[in-house]
């Protein structure tokens, strides 16, 4: 069993420890054929990549592609869901600059309106501690994800279920239709074993990523592989694992 690609790694452009080059070199040393640099979307309050930063990333990656021919290097962004309508913190300019779009829920996102702050940030936070609004949050979170999947060309939904509770079966069904991969995130442990078991009932495909925040973690997906094995997920349904 071998990991062939890591579609989710962070660099100093958000809150990672290494440069793009550091991540690429680490990926080559691990024998990966493809690496995605996916820092946080511009709407993340503390770690969001700036517009200028994203342009610089593009130039850096284009130069590295000339230098390293044995690995495919892609520029992505891990966009934030910022409202109940499923909008992301990326505009056309950002989408034109990147090669691949990842998206997920993050507590540190700059939500669109006071209502979105309340419905997504506050109610979800409280419902994790107290048994109120849980059903309501789950429904609203699921609707937001489904709308995002239908509105944008999202290649990978990152760590589903890690930050906000969702209806995994419903999200998996729509992700199968929109050709979006569900991530088993080795850092967060989501999808977890139970969620993989539910999601695999739909025809959706999966990807196991490191979500590395330092170069030494690039390609470290043992935790994700363990989740897939425990869930009984066939490896031909995971795009970046070779048996």
Residues 178-217 that bind Zn ion (CB under 5 A): 211
Distance in angstroms (rounded) separating the CA atoms of residues 178 and 223 = 27
> Of 115 and 125, which CB lies nearer to Zn ion in the complex structure?
125
Residue nearest to Zn ion (CB): 211
**Residue of 171, 174, 176, 173 lying closest to 159 (CA atoms):** 171
Sites for Zn ion among residues 5-24 (CB under 5 A): none
CB 68 within 8 A of CB 74: no
| Closest to Zn ion by CB, 44 or 115 | 44
Query: Which part of the chain contacts Zn ion (CB under 5 A), choosing from 22-30, 57-65, 150-158, 202-210?
Result: 150-158
Give the pairing of strands 100-104 and 206-209.
Answer: unpaired
**Please, which residue, 78 or 116, has the CB nearer to Zn ion?**
78
Residue 238's φ and ψ, nearest 5 degrees, are: -110, 120
Nearer to Zn ion, 6 or 119 (CB): 6
Q: Report 55-114 residues binding Zn ion (CB under 5 A).
A: 78
Q: How many residues bind Zn ion (CB under 5 A)?
A: 3
Neighbouring-strand partners of residue 207? 183
Asked if 198 and 172 count as a contact pair (C-beta separation under 8 A), the reply is yes
- Interface residues toward Zn ion, by CB under 5 A: 78, 158, 211
């Amino acid at each position: 069993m071998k990991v062939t690609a890591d579609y989710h790694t962070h660099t100093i452009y958000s809150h990672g420890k290494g440069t793009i080059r550091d991540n690429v070199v680490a990926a080559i040393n691990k024998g990966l054929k493809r690496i995605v640099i996916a820092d946080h979307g511009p709407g993340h309050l503390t770690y969001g990549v700036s517009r200028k930063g994203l342009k610089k990333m593009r130039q850096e990656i284009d130069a590295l592609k000339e230098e390293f021919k044995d690995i495919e290097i892609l520029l992505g962004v891990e966009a934030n869901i910022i409202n109940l309508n499923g909008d992301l913190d990326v505009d056309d300019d950002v989408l034109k600059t990147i090669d691949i779009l990842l998206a997920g829920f993050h507590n540190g996102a700059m939500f669109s309106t006071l209502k979105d702050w309340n419905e997504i940030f506050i109610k979800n936070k409280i419902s994790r501690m107290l048994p109120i609004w849980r059903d309501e949050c789950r429904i609203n979170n699921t609707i937001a994800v489904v709308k995002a999947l239908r509105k944008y060309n999202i290649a990978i939904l990152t760590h589903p279920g890690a930050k906000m509770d969702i209806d995994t079966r419903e999200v998996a069904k729509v992700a199968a239709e929109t050709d979006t991969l569900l991530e088993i995130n080795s850092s967060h442990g989501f999808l977890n074993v139970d969620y993989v078991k539910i999601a695999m009932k739909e025809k959706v495909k999966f990807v196991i990523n490191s979500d590395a925040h330092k170069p030494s973690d690039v390609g470290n997906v043992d935790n994700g592989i363990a989740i897939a094995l425990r869930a009984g997920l066939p490896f031909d349904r995971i795009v970046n694992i070779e048996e």
